[in-house]
Structure 1
Amino acid sequence: MHNLEDAAVARRWSELVEQLHHRVDVLAKKFISQVREIPEYGESTVETDEIMQTARETFHRLVNGLRNGGNAEAGADYDADISASLGAKRARAGIPAEALVSAVRLDFTILWAELLAIATPEDAPMLTARVDQVWRVVDEFAVRTHTSYLNERVRMAQEESSIQNEFIARLFSVVSPSADTAAQVAEALGVSANARFGLVAASGSAAARLRAAQVKAAAKRNQRFFLRESGDMAYVFWPVAAARTGEVKAVIATVPQVFADIPCGVAEANGLRALPKAARTASSLAALLQPADTGPLSANQAWPRLAKRQLAEAGLDLVEELDAALDPCRGVERERLTEAARHFLQSGSVTLTAEALFCHRNTVLNRLNRFQELTGIDLTVPNQAARLVVAWA
């Protein structure tokens, strides 16, 4: 008797599923009317005819799944083709993942409502027992579609990154890119060719940190961050937000927080055409980083180091000259003279120097005069004081 009842229930379920099969067009039309209520679908450029065709294919697949008792293996290749196609198409159309999943799972609501509409009151116990099966069939399709969507998004991102890298390489391949090249790169990157850009550069372990920070920044911010690699050096550049009228921010103030604790050189460029020059500046600054540097180093901060290196390459050693000039000093005199000179360079004030050294201002004046007598450097004359700033950089 029990087997007869089970057979009767199975036959009745098959009858209902067959009715669904003949009502696929009705189901698809109901899907169209409801899916457009999802904002991302209502605003999308996906044509209604294309959604209608996809809805028909989807409901055919779901009804077949119900025919097979929810067996995921039955017709798996066919199902995979449909879900893969749907996921890929929606990814290319720019539909957000959450909206896609909401649309696919809308199928359950429509299927279930249609089953209730065609069923009789006597079918209620059977439908209650089958609700999990209906949900499982829809959910499996949703998971496969979502997986296909994510895979397509990864491919799209890789393609976009590859194309962008080609244009970035073209931009940095010449000392001074042409206006046409800058315009093409700007279009590929989705930025203005005339925007102001910040750029940071690092090598070694700092370059690895820079790459990781670029990925993090690109994932969490609306602002665009672009990576350029050349040998051991990594560069990251980004368009700087326009300042308020009358406001001019130093380049160091435009560096995003995600790069703030990475030792690197930083420079700015007015327009894409100036980026190669900025990259050379930033890489030169990166080469001057010292163990005490824990963040970005700008030219305003490091110009004495740059000047010192250039002079050294020309065979001029200011430190050696200074040491020779101070050689006649004995005991603590040399220490006191250099201490007074260093403090005066920082403030330009005899009074502040005296306060810092806890001595009378006349004592400071005497030490500065003695320093000038030995070295020939008058610290009150900027172009002479600059020699010391560079020497002690």
Structure 2
Amino acid sequence: MHNLDFTGEDARWDSLVERLRGRLNVLVSSFMARVAEIPEYAEGRVNLTEMQDTARETFSRLVDGLRDELCHHPGKGDASDTLRQFSSELGAKRARAGVSSEALTSAVRLDFSILWADLLEISDPGDAALLTTRVDRVWRVVDEFATQTHASYAMERVRMAQEESNIRREFISRLFSKSELSAATVSQAGAALATDAEARFSIVAASGDAASKLRTAAAQGGWNQPHQRLFTHEFGGSTYVFWALPRATGQSAPDGGQDYIPAAINGIPCGFVPGFMGLRGLPPAARTAERLALLLQPDDHGPLTAGAAWARLAKQQLQGAGLDLWADLDASLANCRGGERERLEETVRHFLTTGSITTTAQELFCHRNTILNRLNRFEELTGISLTVPDQAARLVVAWA
């Protein structure tokens, strides 16, 4: 073994470090061979030439960081400063390239093992004690480099996510701000939202407490898949959430149909327009969803579609025109005695739901003739025959 004093150890260490600097090509070749085993790098996520240049610069700066001179003369810390700056640039660059955090970690971890393996190769058997005293330094330099690289990577990912979110909000606002959308706007919005602009979409709208619940549900997501997102828009006191439905030829929604609504939204009172075609159809669908939300009643505990709310909408329109079907019906039934009115209304409501005298009798535990007598009595009082569709429709609207 070498019998070196402290100064001699420093000199020997600096000599080994200098030999490392002369072997940059070896270090880079070793790194390139091993990083190719990481799938994202092997797939060409990072340009090969750029990766080689980066590896050479990385090892050059790491080797500079191993010199004893920097430790004994703190004022000469330019190498450490430039290494931190370089690692910050590298982390941001890998984030922009779309390299995952796991792949980046795997690549950076190679630096220590490659450096240490080469140190062992160029050292003499008598350098064992020296290497033992310097292993912490090698690890510290590489670890600082890795830590700064990952910190920069994380900051860049946050910045990119914020930028992406701002771009999405901008294009969503464009979609909602125009009643007629140009082909260019639709295409650009689809690209910004990373979704097929020609797919089928569904939308819900709500205000007040329900709007707050919608925002929470949208943050939770719909399907547990990143490319099937819930998009949110706020305007005029209303919250809108829309999403693309899977194509029939690809994945299918959990219930297999265009009426699918995410579980987190399913229990929220809101206006719901399912399965409209393309982002071009978003403005009219949003207006319909908002209109349906205005028709919600206290006993509604989930999404309301036009199919379920058509009678409410018709009643609202008729009342706006000065026609009150309920007032006429109420006056016609005012002469009922005792519980007759309640029995008649119950029977008629069941019949309007089922369309069957037999089923109505079974549901109300009555004889079939009793149901017929009540329907005849109702017609006698109101002039409304439930067997005539347009008259039955008037009744459905009056009771909406």
**TM-score if structure 1 supplies the norm length?**
0.90
CA shift in 2, pair 1:63/1:309, >3 Å? same
Is 1:32 the counterpart of 2:39 in the alignment? no
Q: Which moved more, 1:193-202 or 1:307-316?
A: 307-316
Is 1:116 the counterpart of 2:123 in the alignment? no
Is 1:367 the counterpart of 2:371 in the alignment? no
Helix, strand or coil for the counterpart of 2:372?
A: helix
Deviation at 1:110, TM superposition (A): 0.7
CA shift in 2, pair 1:70/1:239, >3 Å? farther
Structure 2: segments with no counterpart, 5+ residues: none
2:247 is matched by which residue type in structure 1? A
Structure 1: segments with no counterpart, 5+ residues: none
Is 1:49 the counterpart of 2:49 in the alignment? yes
Q: Specify the alignment match of 2:273 in structure 1.
A: 267
CA shift in 2, pair 1:83/1:212, >3 Å? farther
Q: Which moved more, 1:360-369 or 1:317-326?
A: 317-326
Encode CA deviations 1:202-242: one digit per residue, 9 max, x unaligned. Answer: 22232222223223217942313322221221212221112
Helix, strand or coil for the counterpart of 2:221?
A: helix
Q: Which of residues 191, 202, 209 is equivalent to 2:206?
A: 202
1:268-287 alignment, distance < 5 Å: 268=274, 269-287=276-294
Give me the whole-angstrom Cα distance separating, in 1, the residues matched to 2:138 and 2:215: 47
Helix, strand or coil for the counterpart of 1:63?
A: helix
1:328 is matched by which residue type in structure 2? N
Give me the whole-angstrom Cα distance separating, in 1, the residues matched to 2:299 and 2:132: 71
Q: Specify the alignment match of 2:235 in structure 1.
A: 230
Q: Which of residues 258, 269, 277 is equivalent to 2:264?
A: 258
Q: Which moved more, 1:39-48 or 1:100-109?
A: 39-48
1:10-29 alignment, distance < 5 Å: 10-29=10-29
Encode CA deviations 1:157-177: one digit per residue, 9 max, x unaligned. Answer: 222222232222222222122
Deviation at 1:139, TM superposition (A): 2.2
Q: Specify the alignment match of 1:293 in structure 2.
A: 300
Q: Which moved more, 1:28-37 or 1:346-355?
A: 28-37
Give me the whole-angstrom Cα distance separating, in 2, the residues matched to 1:218 and 1:332: 48
Check whether the contact 2:233–2:240 (CA below 8 A) recurs between aligned residues: yes
1:261 is matched by which residue type in structure 2? G
Encode CA deviations 1:218-277: one digit per residue, 9 max, x unaligned. Answer: 7942313322221221212221112269x99664x3212232222221113211111101
Check whether the contact 2:218–2:241 (CA below 8 A) recurs between aligned residues: yes
Q: Specify the alignment match of 2:159 in structure 1.
A: 155
Helix, strand or coil for the counterpart of 1:331?
A: coil
CA shift in 2, pair 1:47/1:244, >3 Å? closer
Deviation at 1:70, TM superposition (A): 12
Deviation at 1:45, TM superposition (A): 4.3
Deviation at 1:31, TM superposition (A): 1.4
Give me the whole-angstrom Cα distance separating, in 2, the residues matched to 1:352 and 1:72: 93
Give me the whole-angstrom Cα distance separating, in 1, the residues matched to 2:249 and 2:388: 37
Q: Specify the alignment match of 2:194 in structure 1.
A: 190
1:14 is matched by which residue type in structure 2? D
1:177 is matched by which residue type in structure 2? L
Q: Which moved more, 1:129-138 or 1:53-62?
A: 129-138
Q: Specify the alignment match of 1:242 in structure 2.
A: 247
**TM-score if structure 2 supplies the norm length?**
0.88
Q: Which of residues 156, 163, 170 is equivalent to 1:166?
A: 170
Deviation at 1:5, TM superposition (A): 4.4
CA shift in 2, pair 1:218/1:31, >3 Å? farther
CA shift in 2, pair 1:193/1:224, >3 Å? same
Give me the whole-angstrom Cα distance separating, in 1, the residues matched to 2:162 and 2:313: 39
